[in-house]
Chain A
Amino acid sequence: MSFVAQAITLATSSLHAMVPLSLTATGETFNEKAGSFNIGLEGTLLLSAFTAVIGAEATGSYFGGLIVGMLTGMLISLVFAVIAIYWKGDQMIIGIGVNLFALGFVAFGLIAVWKTPGHHGLANWYPPRIPTPIGALSPLVPFAVVMAIITYLLVNKTVFGLRVKASGENPESVDVAGLSVERIRLVSALFGGALAGIAGAYLSIDWLSFVTKEISAGRGFISLACVVFSGLDPLLAFGGAFLFGFSEAFAIFLASMPGGPPIPYFFVYMIPYIVSLVVVTGVIGRRRFPAALGTPYRRE
């Protein structure tokens, strides 16, 4: 393979690796702007990747799968919102609960639905592809870009965005203005859940065409790192997702080099996580987070 061809392969696989991170991170920036912190994204990705395959096989359509994945993400966010926002439960514990539940439920579900332990492939499955000069791309690649821009505009240029920011910074002011902090946070959580659900569906029915019990592989957590890196700016979160997508694609690229990787592939696979840690450490001092992030709103 020539150098140019290799570079192009690396670029398209980076874009595909970016999609789930970008969608999840974009949605979570919105959720965190409103004041909630969801560490259950890993579980959301896993559960929606699983249900999307059921949806895709039941409807026989790519779109059907995406919708089922999205609805799954929203359902989990609804559970999160009810416990965290309305019942004022601890957001970290809820996130851990979702992650633990997803790990067990998906492993159980793979056997319950398809009688296959750990892995189920979609047969004769051809997700749609857009032909571009650098190769065939999933329609969710441009979708992820568009969603990052839309989220940015939603947060910064609309009245609703202003209310979202206010419920994260100073929920009392929202309450005094006669609006419901809970409802604004619920809508933001559902938005984040919908994007994470689509991201999960993308993993199974678009990118990989199979589902495994560990398909999310830490991507929910890396998305959180993207969010922290971005300081809750959706466009920067997108940039972070691209960086991590690139490092993931680069790791796979190195590991599959003819003649073996230059270093043991175990170290190659550490790259995305080391990059995350270094990047987050490098920018963290310059980031400011909403004052009420992670604290439930209680009327005085």
Chain B
Amino acid sequence: MTQQKRSRVREYLSGMARPLGETALAIAIGLVGGAVIMLIWKYDPLHAYIALFKGAFGGVDEIASTLSMATPLILTALTFLIGVKAGLFIIGAEGQVYLGTVGAVAASLFVLPPGVHLLVALLFSMVVGALWSLPVAILKVTRGVHEVISCIMMNWIAVWLTRYMVNYPLVDPARSEKTITVAPTSRFPILIPRTELTLAIAVSIVAAIVIYYFLWHTSLGYQFRAVGLNPEASRYAGINQLRIIILSLVMGGMTAGLAGATQVVGRPPTWALYGTLANIMNLGFNGLAVAMIGRTHPIGSIFAAIFFGGLYTGARQMQVPGPSPSLPYIEQLGEVVRGTAGAGVTIELIGAVQGVIVLAVAVPGALDMLRKYLRRRRGR
């Protein structure tokens, strides 16, 4: 390596240090917040976090499960970050995921050869997701309706429309609590037997790389970022802002729709959508958190999604009843480490931790604040 190249690498790495440090700090604040909540209700945070880690990354099956949880989150994070780059605050991924799922299930109403069928299912989900984002785009462009308001309403309309689709046109005649099972020809191949991990993870990662390339290495992507950074200047530069708004919403709708598809054609053992929508609920909203922890960067979002996937997967182990309190503490820890005990903490606590992390991310320059505070304390 030449001297020049080495210094450029060093520059690049030091540029990454700050965002990574701030993200690590936000995550730490979130975990401390979760620990405080656990202590209030007399749960053991140490047990909980050991169980969480073990449940998320403790073995091949756990890692497969974590990656499979991350698969849709990468895609919904993309929806949000494409919007952010173009200066929009798109919180409509939730509804677009729902309808994308419906689209992917509906593809199973046709009989097609394997492979082609999967492509058709993915195409359906992307088209339906994009269509669901269109009213938001049209209302924004023609009437100036703020995308936050229209996304919220479209999300709720999507909830009821999807429930209707699940309960009537797509219902499983044998089991009315779910849709028809998707055709085997339209399924992603399973990567690790007896786990939920399928090739869908590759689609998510490729999508993130494509979006990264698009935003930073194409002229249209440059226009997206120009509009997001400075709408005034980009207008003077002759960039068609309306086109960018519509395109960013449509592209976001496509990735969100795809996220929905991965939950039915890319996730065993159900291969169907439940009437309660339980297997797709909150994927869109959690994607917002993923995008923020990933510093609204596609590649960052991949890692953030794996982190959150780990939280959700590990939470199941955390929920396992804790060790007997009569044991000496060191033996209690041993049981948790071996996985024979958890911490008895409800899965949902993870949602609260996630909320605190996002709040911490919202604090600008948190790292500097911490440094200043520490310096002041040391000075005393």
Contacts and interface: CB of A to CB of B under 8 A. Distances in A.
Interface stretch (A12-20, A156-164, A180-188, A274-282): A274-282
B289 A100 contact: yes
A92 interface: yes
Interface in B130-187: 135, 139, 143-146, 148-150, 152-154, 156-157, 160-161, 163-164, 167-168
A126 interface: no
Interface stretch (A64-72, A105-113, A200-208, A234-242): A105-113
Given A96-B289, A101-B356, A224 B152 contact: yes
A218 interface: yes
A96 B91 contact: yes
Nearest to B354: A100
Q: 7 closest pairs, A vs B, by CB?
A: A104-B351, A101-B355, A107-B348, A97-B358, A104-B352, A97-B359, A266-B164
A82 to B, nearest CB: 9
Contacts of B355: 43, 97-105
Given A108-B37, A281-B139, A225 B149 contact: yes
B38 to A, nearest CB: 9
A103 B146 contact: no
Contacts, number: 145
B346 interface: yes
29 contacts: A43-B355, A83-B359, A87-B369, A90-B362, A92-B148, A93-B358, A93-B361, A96-B292, A97-B358, A97-B359, A97-B362, A100-B285, A101-B351, A101-B355, A104-B348, A104-B352, A105-B37, A107-B346, A107-B351, A108-B345, A113-B41, A225-B149, A264-B164, A266-B167, A273-B153, A273-B156, A277-B150, A281-B139, A281-B145
B364 interface: yes
Interface in B332-363: 345-346, 348-359, 361-363
B282 interface: yes
Given A96-B358, A98-B359, A108 B349 contact: yes
Contacts of B154: 277
A131 interface: no
A105 B37 CA distance: 9
Interface size bracket, A side = 35 or more
A101 B359 contact: yes
B89 interface: yes
A56 B58 CA distance: 43
Interface string B23-44: 0000000000000010001000
Contacts of A101: 351-352, 354-356, 358-359
A265 to B, nearest CB: 9
Given A104-B351, A107-B351, A280-B150, 7 more contacts: A79-B359, A87-B364, A98-B359, A108-B345, A112-B41, A117-B346, A280-B149
A95 to B, nearest CB: 9
A256 B294 CA distance: 46
- Main SS of the interface on chain B? helix
Contact of A280 (B145, B157, B351): B145
Interface of B: 37, 41, 89, 91, 135, 139, 143-146, 148-150, 152-154, 156-157, 160-161, 163-164, 167-168, 282, 285-286, 288-289, 292, 345-346, 348-359, 361-364, 369
A104 B349 contact: yes
A264 B89 contact: no
Interface in A202-240: 213, 218, 221, 224-225, 228
A77 B161 CA distance: 34
Contact of A284 (B144, B168, B350, B361): B144
Contacts of A112: 41, 346
B152 A225 contact: yes
Contacts of B345: 108
Contacts of B167: 266
